[in-house]
Structure 1
Amino acid sequence: MSSKHHKIRVGISIGDFNGIGPEIIMKALKDKSITDFFTPIIFASGKLFTYQKNIFKLQVNFNYIDDVKDAVNGKINMVNLWKDNVNVNFGIPTEESTKMAIDSLEAATEALLNKEIDILVTAPINKDEMLKLGFQHAGHTGYLEEKAGKKGVMFLVTEDLKVAVSTHHIPVSEVAQNISKENIKKQIKILNQTLIEDFCVERPKIAVLGLNPHAGDGGAIGKEEIEIITPAIQDLSENGILTFGPYPADSFFQPSTYTKFDGVLAMYHDQGLAPFKTIAYEDGVNYTAGLPFIRTSPDHGVAYDIAGQNIADEQSFSEAIFTGIKIFNNRTEYAELRENRLLIKKQPSENRYREER
């Protein structure tokens, strides 16, 4: 079905409910016209959300369902995963809130893999607490990569700034040994295709940051730029991917520099995310690029320090929803255009002549 006539189904996992997850979800969906744009499907607990919406005095009505297939367009649907009472302790992660975060994520991901929802938007989780309960990944990205059977790239995006990271949630002491020429090439190829397919950039220009201060100063402060990063950039450039750098990270994020590029690859988590969150904190979105499905999330955490105070800002979560929808539409249109081109190429030349004549 063409994306123009398809009411997109947005699946939502709730994260840790003792953080700000349910609050920002309900605030993002409180406008009664929101269901004109998409069909929300929350994987949660009716009793939990009723309790929290009363605390935050939000006028949000839910259509409770037992199966995602029963979701109704024009309503805010909730797959009622837990029917027992829930103990809410704002600001404190508990075994119950952590288990529900895992259950919600797993149920929503299953629906995504079964194509029962079109995109997945994840509220913030507490990674440490989930690991304690046996969750095998230090975040959403690794979990979704395992489910997809392929590697993705953590990609923080706004309209004007898009930053990916080569290494994710690992100690800084392990970053250097986890970057390689081949990994950088694979990641930039993913970014290049994502920018074309998901963000409609015809010829992406991608900047690559150095690992060391001043991008190594010609080898005086480290050899990774000379031995790993520059050779990767050269190989990609020779194969038609517009890749530039390595740039010193300390001066790159000035508007006169970063605005010249469509995407940026940083070497490690804080090198890319610290400037990104400073520049684009309110409307930043975390997108897992390179996977066969679409997952977005806000670019902030569980915010235990403000949980339950009714002051959490839903803007980043709203941006995550609408960025996911935009990517879905762009990706669908791109696939349709490619399919049409292939059909034209396969058409016998005689038939083409008749049609053109």
Structure 2
Amino acid sequence: MTPVRLALVPGEPAGIGPELCVRLAHQPRQHSLTVFADRRTLQAASDVVGLPLRLLDADASATQPGELALVEIPNEVEPVFGNPEPRNAAAVIRALREAAQGCLDGRFDGVVTGPVHKAVINEGGIAYSGTTELLAEQAGRDVVMMLANDVVRVALVTTHLPLRAVADAITPDALARTLRIVHDALRDDFGIAEPTVAVLGLNPHAGEAGHLGREELDVVEPTLDRLRAQGLRLVGPLPADTAFLPARLRGFDAVVAMYHDQGLPVLKYSGFERAVNLTLGLPYPRVAVDHGTALELAGTGVADPSSLFAAADTCARIAHIRRNLPA
């Protein structure tokens, strides 16, 4: 069987992404890695971390430690580590789009992405709210953001919204869509035949029977009842302050939180270094690091590569599972 082929995007060229990719290249692996990046930036990152890097032709199978196949995406200007340049924003977005298109075309089995700098991309004249949204639009799919580590998987009904807008965004359709995507991903991407999903309430104490808000009574509970009747194993709505107790988590395959800061602080506290960010619902696996560009560390060679290692391992594992799904 041919090895799984993963596309790799370093992200912001002035951040820690390029040096993390060099370190990833030196990890033993069964899958092939093709990086979408600027050759000079990767070579500079190789010098920073003191590890040799062999860049192969774009169509090569790069499975040996120290080598990456390269799809050249030139930067507009040579980056200086720690100082992002808005003129390179177009190259960052092009790398993401071309890597994802390679997955859509069947040339790659998944994509692994490093950290990007949203503000710099927007300063470069490109309207950008996040890679999750970009890939969803490109593929024409509804998607869900999930973060995962060795302790817990947390998916989100809403992502980057102001808190004032969250309650209005929790609609029956949005909640049902999220739960179906999470259920299918746990089954198809993680190999869990009958997943159990915990669903958090929106309000403190899950609304306290309507005394602290009616979203649970009017939206969440009816939606969960409807999906349970269709065979989904759903527990909730649960108060968020007790749902993450270790004894409770052992009974769940994932937790669905209503908004960003309801679920992600717990996940990051429980194991930030090994956490990864998955985009569920795409026709290919996409796994990203769960940290930013760390500009203050860029060029020092000391950035922790654990999250990128975990992202690549997770993406390869999901790609293998997807290969074995019935046609």
TM-score range, shorter chain: over 0.9
| Structure 2 SS opposite 1:309 | coil
Runs (4+) of structure 1 exceeding 6 A deviation are: none
Q: Show the counterpart of 2:6.
A: 10
Aligned to 2:39: 46
Alignment of 1:105-254 (within 5 A): 105-254=96-245
C-alpha contact (below 8 Å) 2:196/2:254 kept by paired residues: yes
1:27 paired to 2:35: no
Post-superposition shift, 1:195? 0.8
- Which runs of no fewer than 5 residues in structure 2 stay unpaired? none
Question: Residue 334 of structure 1 aligns to a residue in which SS?
Answer: coil
Is the 8 Å Cα contact of residues 210 and 216 (structure 2) preserved in structure 1?
yes
8 Å CA contact 2:6–2:33 kept in 1: the answer is: yes
Q: Distance in 2 between matches of 1:129 and 1:149?
A: 26
Cα gap change, 1:121/1:210 in structure 2, threshold over 3 Å: closer, same or farther? Answer: same
C-alpha contact 1:18 1:97 (8 A) present in aligned 2: no
Query: Structure 2 length normalisation: TM-score?
Result: 0.94
CA distance in 2, matches of 1:130, 1:316: 23
Give, as a single letter, the amino acid of the residue that structure 2 aligns with 1:7.
P
> What is the distance in 2 between the residues matched to 1:163 and 1:135?
29
Distance apart, 1:133 and its partner CA: 2.9
Q: Report the CA distance shift for 1:195/1:331 in structure 2 as closer, same or farther (over 3 A).
A: same
1:295 maps to amino acid: R
Count of matched residue pairs? 324
Give the corresponding residue for 1:56. 49
State which of 46, 60, 66 in structure 2 corresponds to 1:71: 60
Deviations 1:314-354 (A, max 9, x none): 1110111110111111122122xxx4xxxxxxxxxxxxxxx
Query: SS at 1:264's partner residue?
Result: strand
**Shift in alpha-carbon separation, 1:123–1:83, aligned structure 2, 3 A:** closer
Q: Which has the larger radius of gyration?
A: 1
Contact 1:46 1:83 in 2 (8 A): no
Tell me the CA shift for residue 55 of structure 1. Answer: 2.0
Q: Residue in 2 aligned with 1:82?
A: 74
Instruction: Report the Cα distance in structure 2 between the residues aligned to 1:93 and 1:178, rounded to whole angstroms.
Output: 34
Q: Name the residue aligned to 1:354.
A: none
- Report the Cα distance in structure 2 between the residues aligned to 1:161 and 1:119, rounded to whole angstroms: 22
Give the C-alpha shift of residue 83 in structure 1. Answer: 7.9
Instruction: Mark the runs of 5 or more structure 1 residues left unpaired by the alignment.
Output: 340-357
Residue aligned with 2:325, SS? helix
Kindly report the root-mean-square deviation, in angstroms, between the aligned alpha carbons of the 2 structures: 1.7
Give aligned-pair identity as a percent: 33
**Deviations, residues 171-227 of structure 1 (Å, cap 9, x unaligned):** 111111111112111111111111111111111111001111121112122111111
Per the TM alignment, residue 267 of structure 1 is displaced from its structure 2 partner at its CA by 0.3
TM-score w.r.t. length of structure 1:
0.86
Secondary structure in 1 aligned to 2:107? coil
Indicate yes or no: 2:306 matched with 1:310.
no
Task: Show CA shifts across 1:99-156 (max 9, x none).
Answer: 3211211221222222221111111111122233343431111111111111010011
In 1, Cα distance between equivalents of 2:150 and 2:44: 36
Residues 205 and 261 of structure 1 are in contact (CA less than 8 Å); yes or no, is this contact kept in structure 2? yes
